[in-house]
């Protein structure tokens, strides 16, 4: 069972073994949402299912005439990409034929930014056998792995059953109650300029949650497109945390997606599983009474 990363050669061996397996392509582009599925149709790992951030991995909710988004009442978080309820997500998994005895492998074309969301959601639904393909689509192509185009259609309905969550979800109210408390260490995965409040291309308010530390998610990936070594990740997170208890970490970003590579990286580095504030900055600033800080980490 693979629970964090899987290499291209390990995935090929898994394919060859005939073990129960489903591969998910989570490629996406925030600025051009249809582009991910278009890229999938042009070429993907043979047999892979497409999992759209907007459709499969978020609660679509409803939109006002002015474009304001309102998640369904049973959504598990707020923000620009609200988590669907565990029950709705289980229904989607069943609709594509994913079953509890399967190993899941997730990948994208975006340095694991989007496939990490599906990795986390499966853990949240109690399914531990899910791994990120290290190096993603580029590594698979370079390894000479089998590819297909178009849409994969030969699937049957399954009955995926929820189990106790294996990862912790934190609400905006919980974050608010614990600001400044030693039992909460906020780690923001957005790029430095957005964290400091110098620019904000997506949300109506710039800045960060007071007291948060900044660790851009992109820093987990090396120049070769693979996750950095466990030793390097450990040293880098030790520096970010500066003596704070890793067990108190709550990760977030703009909408709860790009924070997950930080969660994965910490686990690769040997830290225990950490929590996710899935609504993240976009949910935080939806209530203008919540405090906002600018400048460097910890302010």
Catalytic residues: 253
CA–CA distances in Å: residue 224 to residues 106, 134, 158, 190 = 19, 10, 37, 21
Report which of 183, 265, 170 is spatially closest to residue 216, judged by C-alpha positions.
Answer: 265
In the chain, what is the straight-line distance between the N-terminal and C-terminal CA atoms, in Å? 41
Count CA atoms closer than 13 A to 209's CA, side-chain side. Answer: 34
Residue 37 C-alpha from the chain's centroid:
18
Residue 75 host element (H or E): none
Contact present, 265 and 251 (Cβ < 8 Å): no
The DSSP annotation for 238-269 comes to HHHHTT--GGGEEEE-SSSSTTHHHHHHHHHT
Contact present, 107 and 137 (Cβ < 8 Å): yes
Structure tokens at 164: 């106790």
Q: Tell me which long-range contacts 220-228 makes (C-beta under 8 A, separation of at least 24).
A: 220/261, 220/262, 220/264, 220/265, 221/111, 221/112, 221/261, 224/135, 225/111, 225/135, 225/136, 225/138, 225/139, 226/134, 226/135, 226/139, 227/5, 227/112, 227/134, 227/264, 227/265, 227/268, 228/265
């Amino acid at each position: 069972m693979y629970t964090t990363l899987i290499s291209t050669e390990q995935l090929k061996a898994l394919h060859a073994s005939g073990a129960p397996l489903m591969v998910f392509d989570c490629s996406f582009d925030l600025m051009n949402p249809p582009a991910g599925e278009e890229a999938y149709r042009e070429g993907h790992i043979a047999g892979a299912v497409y999992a759209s951030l907007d459709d499969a991995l978020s609660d679509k909710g409803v939109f006002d005439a002015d474009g304001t988004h309102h998640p369904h009442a049973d959504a598990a978080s707020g923000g620009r990409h609200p988590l669907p309820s565990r029950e709705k997500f289980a229904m989607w998994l069943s609709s594509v034929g994913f079953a509890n005895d399967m190993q899941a492998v997730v990948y994208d074309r975006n340095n694991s930014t989007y496939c990490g969301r599906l990795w986390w959601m499966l853990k949240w639904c109690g399914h531990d056998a899910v791994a990120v393909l290290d190096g993603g689509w580029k590594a698979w192509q370079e390894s000479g792995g089998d590819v297909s185009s178009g849409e994969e259609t030969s699937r049957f309905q399954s009955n995926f059953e929820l189990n106790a969550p294996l990862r912790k979800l934190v609400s905006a109210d919980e974050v608010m109650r614990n600001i400044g408390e030693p039992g909460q260490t906020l780690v923001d995965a957005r790029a430095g300029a957005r964290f400091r409040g110098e620019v904000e291309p997506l949300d109506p308010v710039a800045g960060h949650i007071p007291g948060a530390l900044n660790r851009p998610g992109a820093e987990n990936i090396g120049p070769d497109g693979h996750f950095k070594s466990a030793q390097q990740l450990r040293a880098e997170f030790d520096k970010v945390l500066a003596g704070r208890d890793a067990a108190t970490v709550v990760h977030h970003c703009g909408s709860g997606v790009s924070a997950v590579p930080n969660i994965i990286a910490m686990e690769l580095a040997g830290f225990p599983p950490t929590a996710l504030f899935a609504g993240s900055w976009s949910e935080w600033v939806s209530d203008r009474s919540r405090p906002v800080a600018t400048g460097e980490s910890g302010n």
